[in-house]
Amino acid sequence: MKNNMHADKVKHPKKANVAQPKISQSATTEKRYRISGHESFPCRYAWLPKVVRLVRHSPQSLLNDEDAMVEMGLGKNMVKSARFWAQAANIITLSRNGVFLTPFGDLILGKGTLDPFLEDIRTLWLIHWNLSTDVSTPLLAWDLLLSRWQEPEIIPSAAVRFLYKEASVRDDKLSLETLQRHVEVFLHSYIPTRGKKGKVQEDSLDCPLVELALLQKTAERESALDNGEHESVYIFRREEKPEISSELFTYCLADYWLKHHKTEHTLVFHDVAHGHGSPGQVFKLPEADVRTRLETINATSCDYLVYTESAHLHQIRRTGKDMNLEKLLKHIYTRES
């Protein structure tokens, strides 16, 4: 059984006369993006641990909205959203045979209990990584805004237009309203909601990815939708992030390699720093930080990877051993954060 995570088909709305950010011509067309299914709720702190506990003790209850509402103490839409986020974060998998914890979900939140209550900032970065790097049915905003948005700022209305144009390339008949809600969920996953006095609203404290401070609000300006309203302007925090440990970076590099370059034995520096779905792009790391991390990859990759550089070439080479993601994942938590 699978959630219906695709938006309803509607007619194209009339487009506003607004400049579009450039879209790479190398974009693939085989992806089937997920745009709805989160019920307009960002993921909340308690949801993933609750989903894991329910799957461990009564997995079929998660597939029944009424049972899940009782077991998790959530409303129906929140149950659907929690189920969506657990799947999108690679915590659970849904199939015709039922619902199961993934190896990642079981190790972090299940029997392995490396971080059962999401108290470790490294776990939150891993969840961010999983949300941003699914290659089969990726989340539209996470996939494109993190890997292909080239503008220095994120203006929500411009981001909506960017995603709408991309969806049109793939013949997805989506409304601007659907995409606007999707972009709002993306932004509210990383930006806390604040009241008039600057205090964080209670309902936003449940979004764990806010702690990453990946997005920052910088200004207000008139909406690009020409509706007379103003909207916030955001930027990604593009700086060194020491809380992303060397072991965490190495795990994500190996995961990126297996997802995008599985048959290749070497990767050049540009792939790691700027490739679609790469650690450099998804974590918004400066080139200098990526290079520094690669220089120590020999010591953190469990003998899977070797970094070499010359006057004209910087590359990472596989040693020939099959990369074991579970081993690399456990290695993240062998050191104190």
Torsion from C-alpha of 149, 154, 160, 165, nearest 10 degrees: -30
| Domain boundary residue, one of 73, 100, 117 | 117
**255 within domain boundaries:** yes
CATH assignment of the domain containing 297: 1.10.10
Ordered DSSP codes for 19-75: PPPP--TT--S----B-SSSTT----TTHHHHHHHHHHH-HHHHTSHHHHHHHHT--
**291 within domain boundaries:** yes
**69 within domain boundaries:** yes
**110 within domain boundaries:** yes
Query: Which of 111-120, 199-208, 314-323 is predicted with the least confidence, judged by mean pLDDT?
Result: 199-208
pLDDT of 280-322, one tens digit each? 999 999 999 999 999 999 999 999 999 998 878 889 999 999 9
CATH assignment of the domain containing 53: 1.10.10.10
* H-type alpha helices, 189-301: 246-260, 269-274, 279-282, 287-295, 297-300
The pTM of the full predicted model, rounded to 2 decimals, is 0.86
**29 within domain boundaries:** no
Short-list 57, 54, 75, CA closest to 66:
75
| Domain boundary residue, one of 91, 117, 143 | 117
pLDDT score recorded for residue 323: 96
**265 within domain boundaries:** yes
**317 within domain boundaries:** yes
Q: 325: Cβ–Cβ under 8 A, 6 or more apart, which residues?
A: 251, 254, 255, 258
Domain interval for residue 96: 47-117
Q: 332: Cβ–Cβ under 8 A, 6 or more apart, which residues?
A: 122, 126, 245, 247, 248, 251
pLDDT score recorded for residue 336: 60
pLDDT score recorded for residue 179: 92
- What percentage of the chain carries pLDDT values higher than 70? 84
Report d(CA 290, CA 329) in Å as an integer.
19
pLDDT score recorded for residue 226: 63
Number of domains in the chain: 2
**127 within domain boundaries:** no
Q: 195: Cβ–Cβ under 8 A, 6 or more apart, which residues?
A: 201
Torsion from C-alpha of 332, 334, 335, 336, nearest 10 degrees: 100
| Domain boundary residue, one of 66, 91, 117 | 117
pLDDT of 229-276, one tens digit each? 789 999 999 999 999 999 999 999 999 999 999 999 999 999 999 999
